[in-house]
Amino acid sequence: MQIEILALCDAATDYQGHLCVLGAFDTIYARTFPATHSQCAIANEDGRLILPPLDGKIAIALNRGFKSASANLIFGVQGLQLESVGDYEVNLAVDGKQEAAIPLYVRKPEE
């Protein structure tokens, strides 16, 4: 398995097999904590999950004559609660095996 894209973004859609991504980011700024990020798609720096795992199944069929297949998986998160400034991580695991991870930095804006 090869993960081609793992991103936090403001919005994403799958349009007939085309992945459309809007506003990819790795940092969220908040003036007070706890803070709520209204919408996006996390484990705390201490390893504690701040979202329950998203479990599901997807079937990918290889079409005749093709050497590979791909699928766009989009998970929308509403009202993400962030307790404090820190370094977070988004992990992608498939069948219990971590396949990819990206950072999410939560910071206070400089005054």
> Pick the residue with more confidence: 91 or 26?
26
At residue 1, the pLDDT reads 78
Order the strands of the 86-94 sheet from edge to edge. Answer: 27-29, 97-107, 86-94
Give residue limits of the domains in the chain.
25-52+72-111
Nearest Cα residue to 73 out of 2, 1, 5:
5
Each residue's pLDDT tens digit, 76-101: 888 888 889 999 988 888 888 888 99
Q: Which two tokens stand for residue 40?
A: 């996006």
Write down the pTM of the prediction.
Answer: 0.81
Q: Which has the minimum average pLDDT: 43-47, 51-55, 66-70, 83-87? A: 43-47
> Pick the residue with more confidence: 58 or 43?
58
